[in-house]
A and B are shown apart, each in its own frame.
Chain A
Amino acid sequence: MAKPRVFDVTTLPGFTFIAILAFVLLYAPIITLVIYSFNGGDSVNQWGGFSLEWYAVAAKNEAVQDATARSLIIAVWASVISTTVATMAALGTTRRGKFTGQTMIYVIINQPLMVPEIVTAVALLIFFSSVKVATGYTGLGYLILAHSAFCIPFAYLPIKARLEGMDTAMETAAADLYATPWQTFRYVTLPLLLPGVIAGAMLAFIISLDNVIITEFVKSAGQDTLPTYMLGQLRRALTPEVNAISTALLALTVLILTVFVFVTKKRD
């Protein structure tokens, strides 16, 4: 017996099927990667039982240790620097009406989102190689500088969104209650802005941690980060070790994103 069909204006033929298929196709490869990172045995083609063996191998590998430390150092610096300057820029470009050159500022800030990464990478390679020759300095500074720059738009967007959602009446009320501009910032604007700043810093951290192309072009010899190390290890198939590192990075990303969702949700 045929069920009476309820007419729902929001359904379109086949859309739900394709959508579910898309989610399955998005997650199947990632889940496979995660499962195989727990594969015991040496063959990447055969399931050899559950094991944390490859995590142990990766953890003991000095190159992995170095790359991890380097990735974290760069990501911490880049997120601190980019979030600081992005917060200032967000304060400068919102809540004060339109001013000359505002669009120009937006374009420069969002530029890393628009230009293909390979082009920026090539540009930095050319620029930094001459600076390296001129100064003789080949340290991590170049990577930190490059990462800080391309992280700025990612830090800027959530901070700007938060500021635009904040009622300017708060600052007016503070000024009315004898708070100087600095006190107003310290006791009213900054506490209210904090979720946006934390969100921005987390996005910047993820973006820095994940970067491959620019890092690959800017790094000096022996300055591998985790992603460039993994790219360098690439053969016909993934080594189980790279699989394990990928899964660990993936877990870190999911963790940060979950915290991000909670931080941006709360107080609203």
Chain B
Amino acid sequence: MLSAGAQRKLKAAAGEIDVNTDIAIDARNVGKIYGAGASAVTALGDVSISIEKGEFFTLLGPSGCGKTTLLRCIAGFETPTSGSIHLSGTDITYDPPYQRPVNTVFQSYALFPHLTVAQNVGFGLKMRGASAADVAKAVDRVLALVKLEDFANRLPQQLSGGQQQRVALARALAPEPQVLLLDEPLSALDLKLRKEMQSELKRLQSETGITFVFVTHDQEEALTMSDRIGVMSAGALLQVGTPHDIYDRPVNRFVADFIGETNFLDATVEGNQVRIGTGDLLAVPLQGETGAVTLAIRPEQVSVTSAQTGISGKITEAIYMGTDTHYTITLKDGSPLVARIQSKSSGAFDVGDTVGIAIDAQAVQVLKS
């Protein structure tokens, strides 16, 4: 079975993707440097990215990685110091924000406190010179979309955080932008509300068909919502792919570490197997790597048995986390390995037990050291 990403690659190879009609945002070698000389700070260094029309694309990375800067360059609030940004084939690098058919949902919502919900939502259309009747019609439609019809005449400060979030969404959707930019819009909401809004956003995206570019530092949020994810670190784009691509085949240690929990074990290639620090051999999928490598092993790919065959180790920590229990096992050579085992499975282990370990070798990612 081919992943969505692989299907895309095939389509591209077959010439089925037309850069001018199927690509919404095309950032080419975008760089952004603040300041000059010795005090210059590189926020973005040579980032290239293509975001397709109708896609839910997420920029994921820790704070300060440059994801928000890239988003602000697309919105027009920042001008790149090098490179260019294209919207549906048109160069918009130096267009002011008010000339770009792109709208933003701000992290702080940035709702106008002196305007009612309806006036906030209608603001963009009014500025573009739409007639009062058209504005009213669009406002009704979008407020229905976010289920806030009854709040049209309230002021933003009279709404709850979740409702303000919906107004911010409605305001950005009302002018029917080609691309909707969302700058960590859910970070101010509590967990329950955040889950609700995640599915709400997915629903809105499929109903409107608008391209969403979503910025977050929450990997779980990125994995559940996105069609594709771009992982960023220190101003560089490390990997672009579907959630499956990113999770199963991280290109380097940073991505593997940032997306979900990962064990890293040093190993040496010997023929078509690798030898880990304990001396045991593992038949991991190799693609011509030689010498020293790092193995990335997900905790759920490690199983623990009471039979002490193969790799063995001692449980040094057990953390009960509800559905799962996390065991930290110290291997013979002293390196720690975390295993995630379903809590209800029979035979719970205790700290101090010596256990046998089985690793799903085919699922292990081999990274160059």
In the bound complex, what is the Cα–Cα distance between A170 and B104 (angstroms)? 12
In contact, B113 and A177 (Cβ under 8 angstroms): no
Question: Can you list 18 A-B contacts (CB < 8 A)?
Answer: A169-B108, A169-B110, A170-B112, A173-B111, A174-B123, A175-B97, A175-B98, A176-B76, A176-B97, A176-B172, A178-B98, A178-B128, A178-B175, A179-B123, A183-B98, A188-B112, A192-B113, A267-B114
Q: B84 at interface (Cβ–Cβ under 8 A)? A: no
Q: Which of B54-97 contact A (CB under 8 A)?
A: 75-77, 96-97
Chain B residue numbers with a CB within 8 Å of A176 are 75-77, 97-98, 102-104, 172
Number of A-B residue pairs having CB atoms within 8 Å of each other in the complex: 64
Interface residues in A189-221 by Cβ distance below 8 A to B read 191-192
Query: Within 8 Å of chain B (Cβ to Cβ): is A167?
Result: yes
* A residues near B97, Cβ cutoff 8 Å: 172, 175-176
B77, B96, B175: the one within 8 Å of A177 (CB): B175
Q: How many residues of B contact A (CB 8 A)?
A: 24
Considering the complex, give the chain B residue whose CB is closest to the CB of A188: B112
Q: When each residue 165-177 of chain B gets 1 if its CB lies under 8 Å from chain A and 0 otherwise, what string results?
A: 0000001100100
A177 with B108, Cβ < 8 A, contacts A172-B77, A183-B127, A192-B114 known: no
Are B114 and A191 neighbours in the complex by a CB distance under 8 Å?
Answer: yes
Q: Decide: A175 and B112 in contact? CB cutoff 8 A.
A: no
Known: A175-B98, A178-B127. 11 other contacts (CB 8 A): A169-B106, A169-B108, A172-B77, A176-B77, A176-B104, A177-B103, A177-B171, A180-B127, A187-B123, A188-B112, A267-B113
- B-contacting residues of A (Cβ < 8 Å)? 167, 169-170, 172-180, 183-184, 187-188, 191-192, 267
Which residues of chain B come closer than 8 Å to A188, judged between CB atoms? 112
Is residue B250 contacting chain A, with contact meaning CB distance below 8 A?
no
Cα(A73)–Cα(B86), bound, Å = 58
Task: Give chain A residues whose Cβ lies under 8 Å from the Cβ of B113.
Answer: 192, 267
Q: Does B124 contact A (CB under 8 A)?
A: yes
What A residues does B124 contact at CB under 8 A? 177-178
Interface residue SS majority, chain A: helix
Give the 6 A-B residue pairs with the shortest CB-CB distance, closest first.
A177-B124, A169-B110, A173-B110, A178-B127, A175-B97, A179-B127
Query: In angstroms, how far is the closest chain A Cβ from the Cβ of B285?
Result: 47
Docked Cα-Cα span, A267 to B115, in Å, equals 12
Closest to A168 in B: B110
Contacts of B112 in A (CB 8 A): 170, 173-174, 188, 192
With beta carbons under 8 angstroms apart, the residue of B98, B110, B123 that contacts A180 is B98
**Chain A residues within an 8 Å CB radius of B111:** 173
- Contact, CB under 8 Å: A177 / B106: no
A177 and B173 alpha carbons, distance in the complex (Å): 10
Task: Decide if A177 touches B114 in the complex (CB within 8 Å).
Answer: no
Within 8 A of A (CB), among B27-54: none
Of B97, B103, B175, most A-chain CB atoms within 10 Å: B97
Please, which residues of chain A bring their CB within 8 A of the CB of B127?
174, 177-180, 183, 187
Closest chain B residue to A191 by CB distance?
A: B114
Smallest beta-carbon distance B112→chain A, Å = 6
Nearest-neighbour CB distance to chain A for B365, whole angstroms, equals: 40
Q: In whole Å, how far is B202's beta carbon from the nearest beta carbon of chain A?
A: 23
CA distance A157 to B76 in the complex (A): 32
B157 → A minimal CB distance (Å)? 10
Q: In the complex, what's the smallest C-beta–C-beta distance from A226 to chain B, in angstroms?
A: 38
Closest to B96 in A: A175
Query: Quick check: B110 and A167 within 8 Å, CB to CB?
Result: yes
Instruction: List the B residue with the shortest CB-CB distance to A172.
Output: B77
What chain A residues lie within 8 Å of B114 (beta carbons)?
A: 191-192, 267
How far, in Å, is B154 (CB) from chain A's closest CB?
Answer: 16
Q: How far is the CA of A53 from the CA of B360 in the complex (A)?
A: 104
Please give, as numbers and ranges, the residues of chain B lying within 8 Å of A187 by CB-CB distance: 123, 127
